[in-house]
Amino acid sequence: MKIIKNIRSSHSLLVASALVMVLVLGACKDEDEINVGPPTIERVRNTDPTTADSSFTSATLGSTLAILGNNLLGTQQVYLNDYPLGVNTAYVTNSTVIVTVGDSVPTVATDPNVPNTLRLVNKAGEAIMEFQTLPPAPQVLQVKNQYVKPGDDLTLLGRYFYFIDTVYFPGEDVFVTSGITANSAGSSLTVKVPDNVDFSEGQSIRVVTKSGGSATNRNTQIYADKGMVADFDTNGALEWPWNWGWGISGDMIQPSQPGISSLEGSFGGMNQAFPANYGWNNDKVINLANWGGVQIFPEGDGYEPSTPAANYDIRFEVAINTTVSIAGLEMQIWYPDSQGNELSYNIPMSDFISNTDGSWYTLSANMSRLTNGSTRLNTYGDFLKGDSGGVKQLRLVVINTTGNDIQAVLGVDNIRVIRAVN
């Protein structure tokens, strides 16, 4: 009985195996009968049923594509820019193939010589169409010089500045669509500031490409004509070029220094070998103060005392003319609070300044980053108080952290407090 049972089991297995073979052969036969020729591609669309009649010739990384055509059932592989996407047969019919554009597909951002093609392959041949795989949406990481006016060139630094459509400025329907230039690496974009910028609508720049739009944040802002503390030209609580505090000589407040031209009017200049190992001299210091206790910091709308200090940035422009590396050169922001604490924060200048040809860059630090141990400013009102004697001071000091002197000409302008977050 066991033998018979085993035979029956074997017989049943043979029957089942034969049935599977018939089904497989039948399926193969059906596939061969359907897939009688090389594939053709009619169009590509996304997978949203509401856009069934759409057609497009480009897509971003991460997109899901529906490829429509004929003789697609036997599709073996789909390539974008010669990179295989992988084919799941569950998403293949004779007229449709659905694939996902993975993040590893080459784009112009990673290879400027990509072929910009979509290629579908089956046993009988292949079909090719022109198709752009777009890089991710643009990212604005830095506004090179935020102190710009209508007609000035504005340079944005970031990533994925390809296929640019529009640059939006603050204001309703304030944008530029022509005269925009970008480098081949997609890391720099230059555009002229239009005449009708309206800062009542904000202060950020936004870039839109075929891949999408850039995000806005405190790194994408331009100067909105508010919050100035020291422009080295306008007299008020600080008077130029002599009655403004201490540090550099008033003779160094000029409209130019060797290799550096002003943005507007005069600026504070330094021309020296900045001493190694944190060495000191007064000619690398700009200590703003009104010794009579007059307020030098901005007040009023947008500068309410109860606002968190973290909502504000201290910003200023710096230009450096030198042929040597500025790695290790820092700008210290120093502020004495009402409790007798000396708060400070050091900005590595090479984090912002990529070219030491005398061009201007905006440096920025969140006010809450000025610390002494765990002590920091909590509100803007804490900043308005000044030191323990009521004197309002703000100091910039160039610090050389390296073991060698650094010879350079350096300019500083437009020291200000910006409401970066509402």
Q: Which tens digit of pLDDT belongs to each residue from 234-276?
A: 999 999 999 999 999 999 999 999 999 999 999 999 999 999 9
- In the numeric block, which tokens belong to residue 180? 């925009």
Q: What is the CATH number of the domain that holds 347?
A: 2.60.120.260
Which of 85, 119, 134 corresponds to the end of one domain? 134
Is residue 145 situated within a structural domain? Answer: yes
Is residue 23 situated within a structural domain? Answer: no
- Considering the domain architecture, whether residues 372 and 294 belong to the same structural domain is answered as yes
Q: Which tens digit of pLDDT belongs to each residue from 2-42?
A: 222 222 223 333 233 333 332 333 344 444 455 459 999 99
Range of the domain at 253: 228-419
Identify whether the C-beta of residue 254 lies closer than 8 Å to the C-beta of residue 266: yes
User: Span 413-417, mean pLDDT?
Assistant: 98
User: Span 353-378, mean pLDDT?
Assistant: 98
The terminus-to-terminus CA distance of the chain in angstroms comes to: 87
What is the C-alpha to C-alpha distance for residues 261 and 271, in angstroms, rounded to an integer? 14
- Considering the domain architecture, whether residues 311 and 325 belong to the same structural domain is answered as yes
Which of 89, 111, 134 corresponds to the end of one domain? 134
Q: What is the CATH number of the domain that holds 182?
A: 2.60.40.10
Ramachandran angles phi, psi of 305, nearest 5°: -60, -30
- Considering the domain architecture, whether residues 212 and 341 belong to the same structural domain is answered as no
Is residue 30 situated within a structural domain? Answer: no
- Considering the domain architecture, whether residues 246 and 359 belong to the same structural domain is answered as yes
- Considering the domain architecture, whether residues 248 and 313 belong to the same structural domain is answered as yes
Is residue 334 situated within a structural domain? Answer: yes
> Does 207 have pLDDT greater than 90?
yes
Which of 134, 167, 187 corresponds to the end of one domain? 134
| Number of domain units in the chain | 3
Is residue 27 situated within a structural domain? Answer: no
Helix (H) or strand (E) holding 21: helix 2-34
Q: Which tens digit of pLDDT belongs to each residue from 85-116?
A: 999 999 999 999 999 999 899 999 889 899 99
pLDDT > 90 in the chain, percent: 86
Ramachandran angles phi, psi of 323, nearest 5°: -105, 0
Is residue 273 situated within a structural domain? Answer: yes
- Considering the domain architecture, whether residues 163 and 233 belong to the same structural domain is answered as no
Which own/partner pairs from 232-241 qualify as long-range (CB within 8 Å, at least 24 positions apart)?
A: 232/265, 232/266, 232/267, 232/268, 232/413, 233/264, 233/265, 233/266, 236/296, 237/290, 237/294, 237/295, 237/296, 238/288, 238/290, 238/296, 240/266, 241/266
What is the C-alpha to C-alpha distance for residues 167 and 149, in angstroms, rounded to an integer? 16
Q: Which tens digit of pLDDT belongs to each residue from 184-194?
A: 999 999 999 99
Is residue 338 situated within a structural domain? Answer: yes
- Considering the domain architecture, whether residues 284 and 378 belong to the same structural domain is answered as yes
Is residue 17 situated within a structural domain? Answer: no
- Considering the domain architecture, whether residues 143 and 127 belong to the same structural domain is answered as no
221: DSSP letter: B
Cα angle value 316/284/362 (rounded, 5°): 15
- Considering the domain architecture, whether residues 64 and 184 belong to the same structural domain is answered as no
Q: What is the pLDDT of residue 36?
A: 58
Q: What is the pLDDT of residue 49?
A: 85
Q: What is the pLDDT of residue 53?
A: 85
- Considering the domain architecture, whether residues 130 and 152 belong to the same structural domain is answered as no
